Structure 1
Amino acid sequence: MGTATLEHDIRDHRLVETLRVWRKLCGTRFAPARHDIEPADFRQMLGRLALIDVVPGASGAARYRYRLMGTRLAAQDACDLTGKPLSEHPDAGQREIVQAAFDAACETRRPAYREDVRQDGARRHTYARLVLPLSDDGATVTGLLLARVVLNRAMS
């Protein structure tokens, strides 16, 4: 699925704008480099972004380490993973969902979008997650930019 088609599938205007900014930063490359990312370009998403390093594993499988986790994401997850690997996320179910989204973006070298319903205590929330590849070498995915918003909040 191309990013133009993906843009029509995304239900939140902030995520659409994030995709557009990322696409502009790509230029002729498949992904921008991490140093191309300027917080001011993503004003509408501050607090809802994370930067993730892709660390090649010994078995060839990628591992992920959060370079930065936005304050709203940390509050939603009830943990701040800044400087920590994804494997330290306390919720195994969410960890698997996030791992799959990160893997998809790395394997395809394209944005990955997903909506999930999550139970947080007595409330159910629908989240939308956009994972955008970054490449410092122009050939492989060396990082990820994660953007996540709550689409709706409903009582269960």
Structure 2
Amino acid sequence: MARSIEGLLARVRHPTLKRMVTFWDEKRRGRDWPLRADFDPLEFWFAVGYVSLIEVISAPGSGARRYFFRLDGTRQVDLFGVDFTGKFLDQVADAEGTRVAEESYGAVVDQGEPQHHVRQVDFHDRPIQYEIAILPLSKTGEGVDMLMTVVTRDEES
């Protein structure tokens, strides 16, 4: 049975992020997480530029994972100054950024639960403060193998 996201929603500050988390929850339809096929960008037009889709690629037997950006939202590209689309996380982020993202992404994959963070980072020598929700998705319903991130500039900074 899918867990409640009330605590998550209570922490989310940005209205677009809150609306997208609610939309993700509706798409679960009582499941632990929605399928990737459940999402039509026309239905979440209000957040399209804030959303990235990240494929989780697990190495058989080793437990190692890499994160491949199928799509990086235009607002995320504007915020970070780099387009991750078509690249692995570790090809674009520095070692510390990769470590922080892999830790957060891994928690979502392992627990099957969304994560929320407000962070301030130095990315390519620029300070950036942002709010992020990391939402688990599945291609087949058998496990988390894709992530949807929704990132907004932190409005309270």
Q: Normalising by structure 1, report the TM-score.
A: 0.88
Secondary structure at the residue paired with 1:47?
A: helix
Query: Are 2:120 and 1:117 aligned?
Result: yes
Of residues 1, 4, 7 in structure 2, which corresponds to 1:5? 7
Query: Are 2:135 and 1:132 aligned?
Result: yes
Match for residue 99 of structure 1? 102
8 A Cα contact 1:48 1:73, kept in partner: yes
Deviations 1:39-95 (A, max 9, x none): 122222121110011111241122210010111212222221111111112333222
Match for residue 72 of structure 2? 69
Unaligned runs of 5+ in 1: none
Matches within 5 A, 1:29-44: 29-44=31-46
Specify the code of the residue in structure 2 equivalent to 1:42: F
Query: Are 2:18 and 1:16 aligned?
Result: yes
Unaligned runs of 5+ in 2: none
Match for residue 47 of structure 1? 49
Report the Cα offset of residue 15 of structure 1: 0.9
CA distance in 1, matches of 2:124, 2:94: 13
Specify the code of the residue in structure 1 equivalent to 2:152: V
Report the Cα offset of residue 120 of structure 1: 6.1
CA gap of 1:64–1:121, structure 2 versus 1, over 3 A, is closer
Secondary structure at the residue paired with 1:46?
A: helix
CA distance in 2, matches of 1:53, 1:140: 12
CA distance in 1, matches of 2:155, 2:22: 23
Report the Cα offset of residue 109 of structure 1: 0.3
Q: Which has the higher strand share?
A: 1
Q: How many residues align?
A: 154
Report the Cα offset of residue 121 of structure 1: 8.2
The percentage of counterpart residues that share the same residue type is 27
